[in-house]
Amino acid sequence: MSRSDQQQIETESPGAGNELPGETPSLDGAPVDDPSVLPDRVPVPEVTFEGLLAMTPPESHALIQKAYDFARKHHEGQTRLSGEPYIHHPVAVAGYLAELHLDAASVAAGLLHDVLEDTTVRREQLDKEFPAPIGELVQGVTKIGKMNFRTTHDAQVENLRLMILAMAKDIRVVIIKLCDRLHNMKTLKYLPEEKRIAISQETMDIYAPLANRLGISRIKGEMEDLAMRWIYPEQYQKLTRHIATKKKERERIVQESIRHLSDYLKGSYPHLIINGRPKHFYSIFKKMREQNLPFEQIYDLTALRVLCETKTQCYAILGLIHAIWPPLPGRFKDYVATPKKNQYQSLHTTVMGLEGTIIEIQIRTKEMHTIAELGIAAHWNYKEKGVEVQKDERLTWLRQLSEWVTDVKESEGLLDALKQDVFADSVLCFTPNGDVIHLPAGATPIDFAYAIHTGVGERCTGAKVNNLMVTLRTQLHNGDVVEIITAPSGHPSPDWLQIAVTQRAKQKIKHWLKTLNLDEWIETGRRKLNRFLEEKNHRVPQAELDEGLDRILAEYKLPTRNDLLVEIGFGSISAQAAITRMNPAWAQVLMPERKRVSTRRRGTGPIIIQGMQGVPTKISSCCSPIPGDPIIGFITRGRGVTVHHANCKNVIRLRTDEEDAARLVPAQWNMDGTPHTVWIGVLSEDRTGLLNDITGIITKNNLFINRCTTNSDAAKHTAMLSFEVNVQSAAQLDAVLEEILRQRGMISAGRRKKPA
């Protein structure tokens, strides 16, 4: 491979690696002025087979030579769109695998990865010619190669499901596919523009995040840069020109910073490696976009990496660096003590360096660096460990995910869930004892509770974040210390399914609810089906509907009609999806839609108290729950039932008294769209137009304002605005509060008690 092709993927060595983004004309050697202009069709320089052998242990050469000869023979006469012989592609893929230090079987499979798809070779022939598991690896890569993540929603879901299962069976299959995609990305210029963009978007959405989840940063970063070139061509060119503008000055600063730091540190640490770290184009672009900053305000383009011997040295060197170069406040991250979920470890700091230049510095051990660059591949030595590596604890998340996707019954929502569990950013929280809990972005205390233990989740009644009581809807952030409050009488609520984010929590909640009130969920499923049919103005006899349910049991891999109704009742399977599969005509509007007759139970009111028909209910003023909130009733002697938010502090207090706890009764909303009254409070910096802005947001979102009070604090320059509003659901109110919090000068916004 050419040096420019491999700038991001080569392992750094002492005195090398000082390149920064934009120092070469482009990532693949082509001119960068206009990526839509294709160069002449000439072969792209890549690693030679001799170079591949030089990167692999001598004992593996016989197998690799045999695989190369076999692939060259069967690809004979085939060329790629660039005009180069096809064999160059599998050799390049095998070269990437060798640089990732994968075993000989993986490198051989890289050489053979296209023979089943692009030649007449069959799996049986591979198994005869090569030892296991090479044939299985090649077949696995072939199956993934046929996946198209740009097809229909259901096809996308199925393709992701198959990829997860392939990864769980043997992670090397996906690593080979990542290397295959990386090389293909380097030759996109030979494809039509629409295909370049489509493949780049797929790479950005699926393959680069997958490489990141597996911890293979060298592939992830290069994929993103290659994809950015075609998805954001104007921004790519502009960024390239910006970075190239002060190339010589940046090179000088990097070299002088390395010399200065080396002279300062090497007396105490003679075996350090200090070099320049190339920052990826896409990471710079992403920072500009997320923080809404122009390029001129991205100051930390100069980056250094310090590699030492031990974890203790990392912290000692950090202190020495801060002694000579002052750190920028809020720019230090400790991923050594709290690694990322892909096992990445490093200390990150940003300092004011030579000549006032802002420099980002990473400090890590050499072992940490290997893991940061190679990810799971760094632990994949089959020669020493055999297939036991697949049981590595670092792959626990993958095994759990594969078990889940095998058991999922319906594609609706699965695509987003898979992307969340595999690709989403994570937050890192702590228990009060200091244990680290990794959760996906947007996770709540319910997710945290179930991540600790199922029993903790099922008995959860409330939570404290950083020693403050919060609702179970609160989103957690990096560094939060979360304490889960439990009680023997605590139990999951159906509303938790809308609050929980992780699939583990949702599965456990569903399991608990299903076993508790099976008949109720069966009835709920029937009600949803009948309501959907009613909306379409169809009247389907019960016997005919039951026959339709029985017909589609096999499609959902469910044993009985009641099992299917339970899934529909829960929402795991939508009524629309089930009706469409039973009879597509039933899912169509039969005639002009007529006004629906309300299905609200006569006399039940807005709250349904289990086992207590007709009992008067009252919404508690201490917490003012609204539809969508988890609720619980408290029998008040002589006055019916007072309904509280399930996490109300008064309810938590009641649970601690045996007599009071016995008067708590299950309650649920009778969801008929009836508006409910709640007070919200907004604390903000005082400014002109504040009241007008907030009332505009509230009314725009169809909330009716009953009353409003305002108070200003001249000393603090703040204003407190309180509104009594009518809302139909907690989700509606949460959306309004989130929009308010995005306004200029906001300090807080949330529900509150009625002002005195």
In this prediction, residues 74-88 reach a mean pLDDT of: 88
211 in Cβ contact with 219 (< 8 Å): yes
DSSP-assigned letter for residue 203: I
How much of the chain, in percent, has pLDDT values that exceed 70?
Answer: 79
Per-residue confidence (pLDDT) for residue 151, from 0 to 100:
56
Within its chain, how far is the Cα of 519 from the centroid? 36
pLDDT band, very low/low/confident/very high, at 18 (cuts 50, 70, 90): very low
229 in Cβ contact with 191 (< 8 Å): no
pLDDT at 372 exceeding the cut of 50: yes
CATH class assigned to 428-513: alpha beta
* Domain locations along the chain: 49-231, 428-513, 517-587, 607-669, 676-751
In this prediction, residues 76-99 reach a mean pLDDT of: 90
Per-residue confidence (pLDDT) for residue 7, from 0 to 100:
27
Q: Of 55-64, 498-507, 584-593, which has the strongest mean pLDDT?
A: 55-64
Token pair for 177 = 């596919």
Q: Which tens digits make up the pLDDT trace of 497-550?
A: 878 888 778 878 877 877 766 777 788 888 889 888 888 888 888 889 999 999
- CA dihedral defined by 607, 610, 611, 615, rounded to 10 degrees? -20
544 in Cβ contact with 533 (< 8 Å): no
Closest CA to 86 of 98, 68, 72, 69: 72
Spatial CB neighbours of 334, under 8 Å, sequence gap ≥ 6: 347
44-58, 429-443, 581-595, range with the lowest pLDDT: 581-595
pLDDT band, very low/low/confident/very high, at 740 (cuts 50, 70, 90): confident
pLDDT band, very low/low/confident/very high, at 449 (cuts 50, 70, 90): very high
362 in Cβ contact with 300 (< 8 Å): no
Query: Which element (helix H / strand E) includes 359?
Result: strand 358-365
Preceding omega of 625 cis (within 30 degrees of 0): no
The CATH number assigned to the domain with range 49-231 reads 1.10.3210.10
In this prediction, residues 743-750 reach a mean pLDDT of: 80
pLDDT at 21 exceeding the cut of 80: no
Per-residue confidence (pLDDT) for residue 72, from 0 to 100:
93
In this prediction, residues 702-722 reach a mean pLDDT of: 81
How much of the chain, in percent, has pLDDT values that exceed 90?
Answer: 16
Alpha-carbon gap, residue 177 to 203, rounded angstroms: 12
User: β-strands 664-669, 704-713: how paired?
Assistant: unpaired
Per-residue confidence (pLDDT) for residue 642, from 0 to 100:
87
In this prediction, residues 29-39 reach a mean pLDDT of: 33
Q: Which tens digits make up the pLDDT trace of 290-345?
A: 777 777 667 667 789 999 999 999 999 999 999 999 988 878 888 898 888 777 89
Q: Which tens digits make up the pLDDT trace of 662-700?
A: 778 888 776 555 677 888 888 888 887 788 788 878 877
Per-residue confidence (pLDDT) for residue 32, from 0 to 100:
34
Spatial CB neighbours of 97, under 8 Å, sequence gap ≥ 6: 106, 107, 110, 175, 176, 179
The type of residue at 467 is N
Spatial CB neighbours of 341, under 8 Å, sequence gap ≥ 6: 213, 397, 426, 438
Per-residue confidence (pLDDT) for residue 19, from 0 to 100:
34
Q: Helices H, strands E: what count in the chain?
A: 33, 19
Alpha-carbon gap, residue 36 to 172, rounded angstroms: 35
String of DSSP letters for 132-183 = TTHHHHHHHHHHHHT--TTS-HHHHHHHHHHHHHHHHH-HHHHHHHHHHHHH
DSSP-assigned letter for residue 28: S
Q: Which tens digits make up the pLDDT trace of 253-301?
A: 888 999 999 999 988 888 899 988 767 888 888 877 777 777 766 766 7
Q: CA triplet 595, 600, 605: central angle to 5 degrees? A: 135
pLDDT at 407 exceeding the cut of 60: no
* Long-range pairs, 120-129, Cβ under 8 A, ≥24: 120/74, 121/74, 129/66, 129/70
CATH classification of 676-751 is 3.30.70.260, yes or no?
Answer: yes
Per-residue confidence (pLDDT) for residue 620, from 0 to 100:
82
Catalytic residue positions, numbered: 117-118
546 vs 400, which has greater pLDDT?
Answer: 546
Q: State the average pLDDT for the chain.
A: 77
String of DSSP letters for 531-565 = HHHHHTT----HHHHHHHHHHTHHHHT-SSHHHHH
Q: CA triplet 136, 139, 143: central angle to 5 degrees? A: 135
pLDDT at 197 exceeding the cut of 50: yes
Alpha-carbon gap, residue 532 to 528, rounded angstroms: 6
In this prediction, residues 189-195 reach a mean pLDDT of: 86
Helices assigned H by DSSP within 26-170: 49-54, 61-74, 88-99, 104-112, 115-118, 123-129, 134-145, 153-169
Closest CA to 729 of 680, 682, 673: 673
137 in Cβ contact with 170 (< 8 Å): yes
Token pair for 51 = 């170079």
